[in-house]
Chains A and B, each alone.
Chain A
């Protein structure tokens, strides 16, 4: 009598498991209690053990494949035993088994440059005029299979694309146009000549079981984006010195505190792609380029123009660009490609004497930095009371992507850059 091996619920919340490695080959003798395989649950990698003696007759699930709890993954029996009847049923039993996106550990998929980040819409931003609006209220717009695949590959939300095919069907050219308009943003706004790079613009990483569980559980706990907040107080005394020294060289070297903070943030993001990322539902996109959104208050409401490749630009260039973008935002002169495509955002209410606040994440981004007011404060430096220029920043983090320690490490690096601003020239 053969013994069926099932995908067992190895954690209380486990719904499916990814078979990481088989420890026994077909034909190997097994005893009850032997480790048959390692299974990645939503929490950890666990051992799947034999519940009977005999020979491992059949492995039904390939390594790297995900199987639902309760599905048949193998059979133990006597050598040569006929298990065909049992396997016939296995097909039905394992219906719905979704093979893992990749064998063994989820390998990041680099995308070839040049690619464009998906358009992130801001609440204040009207959608660009498009050929035929998809019928509203129908739930999902019609689209060709190819269009759906292309949208998936480029991280586009089909709902944000208008179809030009019959009956508003979204077809290939609509996706290409949507991607191209994002691409135009880069071409237009990116004044820096970036050397041709063999490194992809971003890396897509399939979700691991633990990442899936974190995403699901925490989203249940707090809204669609499970946000947490990290606050740090930076010392800007040296930034003030730098700023004063630069301004002494002439008006063209005058920059604001905010410009230096933007530059430091961009530089830190370049070193921390793990927070320079988009949550795309079934994967996380880590960007190798830094497109920094800067929240600007206008009479119409908030809008977030983008400084593209901000980590590659000097403080002076960032100063000029941010002034120009802010002015055009207030004049309502921004083009759509100027306020889409950011990979991380910064919001500053310091000029309004807000000491500290929390900003709302601009999805699909995974973090936003809220900058408070710069204040002279009495602090203890080297055991002595001293008056220093202090700044409070609060980073909102999407916990589906950014864990506490990851966000904290980013802020640590940001602190080093801001408290020693000469580092920004390295």
Chain B
């Protein structure tokens, strides 16, 4: 199976879907002439022309609104945010227009749109450009939220997101674009709303999504050397969340650690913990522990930034704590 980058996997998904359905088009800052700020749209302008790959002005609210309008009249826009930090300017179109239109029009207008771009921190981009917004977006009824951590998942999920008839928020990662993984030549889709058990252990469940899955896998490798074997549940879709997959794992292991890139308060991990306490109370041998970003704006200083992020060491400590091994 070919090994390609996360970036190339997204590029393949866009190319395949644009070839398959001429209603699909890509719009955003620098997606055309510049081949995308992170080169995800490389070669697409050349292949599909400027009607299908549209360079927008630096006006997130404006081009998001154009996208929602286009979706309402039958096109299938993919709106690229250079990062989700910039999407704060467009949040009214995402939350108030895209997410609400089907409901408020009494079912007359569905909005088959994908909002995509990198989410969370990279390296030393400062407090304003290092934020993880998955809990904000997952909070909204009417949005589906997808957060793949591997090239294989990125491609299969982006294709499903584009084919979905309702708005999908697609969270990528600047630190993920260069990661590599096996992606088959043939076409495949990964269904929205399904988690994947990426590692089977039995001693503890680690529940993660997006780039935290990569941390979870490193944690699993390191703990295996100490004869601690963990389940890694990759949520893949944050909303609607695959609660059954979480339940199945926690009922087996009796303990859970939830990893998330964002802050602690009202974070997506809090929702995971709620599902666990609600459905698996009698299965728990220890309180569930969350590993998350420290409760501060992301520091610019390299050393402080490292300390603020959730990482392998913090996650290993959490697993040992729920196993009463610390």
Please tell me the size bucket of the interface on B: under 10
Say yes or no: is A168 at the interface (Cβ < 8 Å to chain B): no
What residues of chain B lie closer than 8 Å to A146, measured between beta carbons? 254, 282-285
Q: Nearest A residue to B281 by beta-carbon distance?
A: A145
Task: Tell me the dominant secondary structure on chain B's binding face.
Answer: loop
Q: Nearest A residue to B254 by beta-carbon distance?
A: A146
A145 touches B284 (CB 8 A): yes
Query: In the complex the two chains form, what is the Cα distance from A144 to B283 in whole Å?
Result: 9
Query: In the complex the two chains form, what is the Cα distance from A148 to B254 in whole Å?
Result: 13
What residues of chain B lie closer than 8 Å to A115, measured between beta carbons? none
A164 touches B282 (CB 8 A): no
What residues of chain B lie closer than 8 Å to A165, measured between beta carbons? 286, 324
Q: Which of A166-180 contact B (CB under 8 A)?
A: 166, 171-173
A147 touches B285 (CB 8 A): yes
Q: Which of B266-304 contact A (CB under 8 A)?
A: 281-286
Say yes or no: is A149 at the interface (Cβ < 8 Å to chain B): yes
Query: In the complex the two chains form, what is the Cα distance from A172 to B286 in whole Å?
Result: 9
B324 touches A164 (CB 8 A): yes
What residues of chain A lie closer than 8 Å to B286, measured between beta carbons? 144, 165, 171
Query: In the complex the two chains form, what is the Cα distance from A39 to B283 in whole Å?
Result: 34
The count of chain A contact residues (Cβ–Cβ below 8 Å) is 12
What residues of chain A lie closer than 8 Å to B285, measured between beta carbons? 144-147, 171-172
Q: Mark A134-168, 1 if CB is under 8 A from B, else 0.
A: 00000000001111110000000000000011100
B321 smallest CB distance to A (angstroms): 9
What residues of chain B lie closer than 8 Å to A149, measured between beta carbons? 282-283
Q: Nearest A residue to B287 by beta-carbon distance?
A: A144
What residues of chain A lie closer than 8 Å to B282, measured between beta carbons? 145-146, 148-149
Query: In the complex the two chains form, what is the Cα distance from A166 to B254 in whole Å?
Result: 17
Q: Mark B200-235, 1 if CB is under 8 A from A, else 0.
A: 000000000000000000000000000000000000
What residues of chain B lie closer than 8 Å to A166, measured between beta carbons? 324
Query: In the complex the two chains form, what is the Cα distance from A149 to B286 in whole Å?
Result: 13
Most chain B C-beta atoms within 10 Å of own C-beta, residue among A144, A147, A148, A173: A144
Most chain B C-beta atoms within 10 Å of own C-beta, residue among A146, A147, A165, A172: A146
What residues of chain A lie closer than 8 Å to B284, measured between beta carbons? 144-146
A146 smallest CB distance to B (angstroms): 4
What residues of chain A lie closer than 8 Å to B281, measured between beta carbons? 145
What residues of chain B lie closer than 8 Å to A147, measured between beta carbons? 285
Q: Nearest A residue to B321 by beta-carbon distance?
A: A166
Query: In the complex the two chains form, what is the Cα distance from A424 to B283 in whole Å?
Result: 47
What residues of chain B lie closer than 8 Å to A172, measured between beta carbons? 254, 285
B324 touches A171 (CB 8 A): yes
Query: In the complex the two chains form, what is the Cα distance from A231 to B283 in whole Å?
Result: 48
A170 smallest CB distance to B (angstroms): 10
Q: Contact residues of A with B, CB < 8 Å?
A: 144-149, 164-166, 171-173
Q: Contact residues of B with A, CB < 8 Å?
A: 254, 281-286, 324
11 more A-B residue pairs beyond the given contacts A146-B282, A147-B285, A149-B282, with a C-beta to C-beta distance below 8 A: A144-B286, A145-B281, A145-B282, A145-B284, A145-B285, A146-B254, A146-B283, A146-B285, A148-B282, A165-B324, A166-B324
A-B contact pairs, 7 of them (CB 8 A): A144-B284, A144-B285, A145-B282, A146-B284, A148-B282, A149-B282, A171-B285
